[in-house]
């Protein structure tokens, strides 16, 4: 009989590997060593170069006739920061909690899914793990590179679960069925430096930028939708860099962040912002970067399947939500129906990040139930 992995022990082993984004190396060694005895064919590859790479990715597939259910996640973590009670990469179990960077976001969920996979019969269907080392960073060489590799291999899941920490107050109280999109926009307005006493000999860029920002701040992008909150535009930086009191500056800069729902596309919003800026400062340089589009998996077979599995183990149905930041589900939604479900997110990215040990075991049971239910669904019952 195959040895069944312990999700707590595997979480500890993953935490013990320093894997600040972009991650590669030892943390992937640990995951591969856990998957190989379970019958998974594991492929690892490194993509990209500095400054956004190199990034390691892992694709593991255990093939069988029937449906294909995928799990996606990331092994990279945010920098730990100073002030931890114990070392950020020294897993410590105390008082029913397991502490360490990545315990919640999201090494714990990956360990739980590996343990769940060991409990799902290999002949039930095709099971895969799509794991990147670049979710917390720019996400340039991570999940999108994995999707390209999957396309080359002809690997196409019927449904996908992303193990982000979606729970709020207790494990299983929230499932994400969509996320808002994100675009960041840099604005630079050039001027002509001069003495403040001789403004006719200079060209002050600050009033132009301020007028443009006022017009942008007044924008109402939408009133929200049935599943999404209203889109919002926020001014996140304003910088002139002028140390002198008697000099009109040569340039002024600002940065915007827009989180938008599925009524918009990132490139269209960037064009709209650019037009407004140019109306006040025609010579301005506007540089947008769309980091992800909004997506929605409408309530249907997949969300019902996940909700039923959660309710069966916890006694309560989860709330379906699109709240929060972005995740790599924004990319995976192009492959198949995708939802997100994982641990309680109260300590993610914080000092002394921690997961309840019992939550790791309960999540393993829920993930096992989800996979079994997914394989029992007919091929025609997806959210396509």
Q: How far apart are CA 118 and CA 2, in angstroms?
A: 8
Which DSSP state fits 6?
Answer: P
Tell me if residue 190 falls in helix, strand or coil: strand
Pairing of strands 174-176, 354-356: unpaired
From the candidates 47, 105, 134, 135, which is the catalytic residue? 135
Which DSSP state fits 344?
Answer: B
Instruction: Choose among 328, 324, 368, 329: nearest CA to 346.
Output: 324
From the candidates 76, 188, 262, 369, which is the catalytic residue? 76
**92 φ/ψ angles, rounded to the nearest 5 degrees:** -130, 125
Active site residue 135: yes
Helices (H) and strands (E) in the chain — how many of each?
9, 19
Category of 86 on φ-ψ map: left (φ > 0), alpha (ψ -120 to 50) or beta: beta
Q: How far apart are CA 17 and CA 58, in angstroms?
A: 16
Half-sphere exposure of 198 (CA within 13 A, CB side): 6
113 near 367, Cβ under 8 Å?
yes
**239 φ/ψ angles, rounded to the nearest 5 degrees:** -145, 135
226: exposed, middle or buried (C-beta count within 10 Å: 0-12, 13-18, 19+)?
exposed
Q: How far apart are CA 101 and CA 348, in angstroms?
A: 8
- String of DSSP letters for 307-338: HHHHHHHHSSPPEEE--SS--THHHHTTTS-E
Integer distance in angstroms from the first to the last C-alpha of the chain? 37
Active site residue 93: no
C-alpha separations of 193 from 50, 199, 209, 240, 350 in Å: 35, 9, 15, 12, 44
Alpha-helix residue ranges (DSSP H) falling in 68-157: 108-119, 143-153
Instruction: Indicate which residues carry an active-site annotation.
Output: 76, 135
């Amino acid at each position: 009989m195959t040895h069944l992995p312990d999700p707590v022990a595997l979480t500890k082993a993953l935490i013990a590997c320093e894997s600040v984004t972009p991650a590669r190396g030892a943390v992937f060694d640990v995951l591969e060593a856990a998957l190989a005895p379970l019958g998974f064919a594991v492929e690892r590859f490194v993509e990209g170069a500095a400054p956004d790479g190199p990034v390691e990715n892992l694709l593991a597939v255990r093939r069988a006739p029937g449906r294909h259910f995928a799990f996606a996640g990331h092994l990279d973590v945010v920098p730990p920061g100073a002030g931890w009670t114990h070392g950020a990469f020294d897993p410590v179990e105390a008082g029913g909690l397991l502490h360490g960077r990545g315990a919640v976001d999201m090494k714990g969920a990956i360990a739980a899914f590996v343990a769940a996979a060991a409990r799902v019969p290999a002949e039930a269907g095709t099971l895969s793990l799509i794991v990147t080392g670049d979710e917390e960073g720019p996400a340039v060489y991570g999940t999108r590179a994995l999707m390209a590799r999957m396309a080359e291999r002809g690997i196409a899941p019927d449904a996908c679960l992303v193990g982000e920490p979606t729970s709020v107050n207790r494990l299983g109280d929230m499932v994400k069925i969509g996320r808002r999109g994100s675009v960041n926009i840099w604005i630079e307005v050039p001027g002509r430096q001069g003495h403040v006493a001789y403004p006719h000999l200079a060209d002050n860029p600050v009033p132009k930028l301020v007028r443009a920002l006022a017009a942008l701040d007044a924008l109402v992008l939408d009133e929200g939708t049935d599943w999404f909150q209203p889109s919002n535009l926020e001014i996140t930086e304003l910088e002139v860099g002028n140390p002198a009191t008697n000099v009109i500056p040569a340039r002024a800069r600002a940065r915007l962040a827009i989180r938008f729902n599925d009524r918009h596309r990132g490139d269209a919003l960037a064009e709209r912002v650019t037009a407004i800026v140019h109306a006040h400062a025609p010579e301005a340089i506007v540089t947008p970067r769309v980091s992800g589009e909004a997506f929605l998996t409408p309530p249907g077979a997949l969300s019902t399947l996940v909700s039923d599995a959660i309710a069966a183990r916890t006694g309560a149905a989860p709330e379906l939500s699109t709240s929060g930041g972005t995740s790599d589900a924004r990319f995976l939604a192009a492959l198949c129906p995708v939802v997100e479900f994982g641990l309680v997110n109260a300590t993610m990215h914080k000092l002394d990040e921690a997961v309840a040990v019992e939550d790791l075991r309960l999540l393993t049971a829920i993930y096992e139930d989800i996979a079994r239910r997914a394989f029992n669904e007919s091929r025609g019952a997806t959210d396509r």
